[in-house]
Amino acid sequence: MSPSLLSRLGAELAGTALLVGIGTGAIVGAVGTGGIPQWQMAIAWFLAVLLPVILFIRISGAHLNPAVTLALALSRRMPRSEAPAYVAAQIAGAFLGSTAVLLSLGDHAHLGATTPSIENLPAVFGAELLFTGALVGSVFVLADARPERGRWCVLLPPAVVGISTFFIGPITGSSLNPARSIAPAVLSGTFTDLWVYLVAVPLAAILVAMLWGRGNDGAPPAAPRTNSGDEGSGGPMGGPKPDGLSARRLP
């Protein structure tokens, strides 16, 4: 029996709170130590994504990101009617995680808000677009993986986030996630070029959803079935399925 919508929303809230708390907490905590090497920050963000994915993938699909939910909904890997609730839960979770960082570590480093370190905003936009596209693509690979491959594919989204943190973190802050950018920005009052992340990231999700659909026989994939035979939420990253691992499409 699939988890209820309320259970899935709770998982998205808790998972996103954990992601933001660990990830931005690493940024804020590094201030007190005089900074850490970028490879260590990349590992912190890898773990920030991996841990909630492991904990909640069988409950909600562990989207943890409005851009991921948008892409899954547009590609019909989850019911579109559930997408707004998922996004609301993710944003609430991001605020919860960012508030925990504020209360435990203080208002340092703008609570880990994403701000460009260079004036070349087109480059920042392009970097966020590129790596968000890679993240959404990795989610689609996981969502469509066969059971025997699903356990390994679960490492793909955290790996993309870690790689992104290493390469573009010093330049863009490596958002790839509107909720992750909005919460610390609002709580710290840091809105510098926030629009870049709120446009580039969803745009990448839309483009990947469109292109991936065309790449699969020229049409968006059909929605998988749940136990009841109704449209389901797509397995891992899309939502729970009976076998807990596969998001196979209908013939």
Lowest-confidence segment of 107-116, 135-144, 190-199, 221-230 by average pLDDT: 221-230
Query: Does residue 250 lie within any of the structural domains?
Result: no
Does residue 4 sit in helix, strand or coil?
A: coil
Task: For residue 240, tell me if it sits in a domain.
Answer: no
Residues 157, 165 contacting (CB under 8 angstroms): no
194 occurs within a structural domain: yes
* Residue 60: predicted pLDDT: 96
Residue burial 109-139, b: 16+ Cβ < 10 Å; e: rest? bbbbbbbbeeeeeeebbebbbbbbbbbbbbb
Res 1: pLDDT: 74
Count of the separate structural domains present in the chain: 1
HSE at residue 215, side-chain half, CA atoms within 13 A, is: 10
The DSSP-derived string for 194-221 is HHHHHHHHHHHHHHHHHHHHHHTTTSPP
Q: Taking 70 as the threshold, does the pLDDT of residue 207 lie above it?
A: yes
What pLDDT is attached to residue 33?
Answer: 84
Domain that holds residue 167: 5-215
Residue 188, CB half-sphere, CA atoms under 13 Å: how many?
27
Confidence (pLDDT) at 236 = 56
Residue 20, pLDDT score = 98
Q: Does any domain span residue 220?
A: no
> Which range (66-75, 86-95, 122-131, 217-226) has the least confidence?
217-226
Any domain includes 151: yes
- 137 assigned to some structural domain: yes
Residue 136 falls within a domain, yes or no? yes
Tokens of 188: 């710290």
Average pLDDT, whole number, for the chain? Answer: 87
For residue 36, give the nearest of 164, 155, 169, 135 by alpha carbon. 169
230 within some domain: no
For residue 170, what is the domain's CATH number?
A: 1.20.1080.10
What is the model's pLDDT at position 249?
31
Two tokens at 185?
């920005």
Other CB atoms within 10 A of residue 213 CB: 17
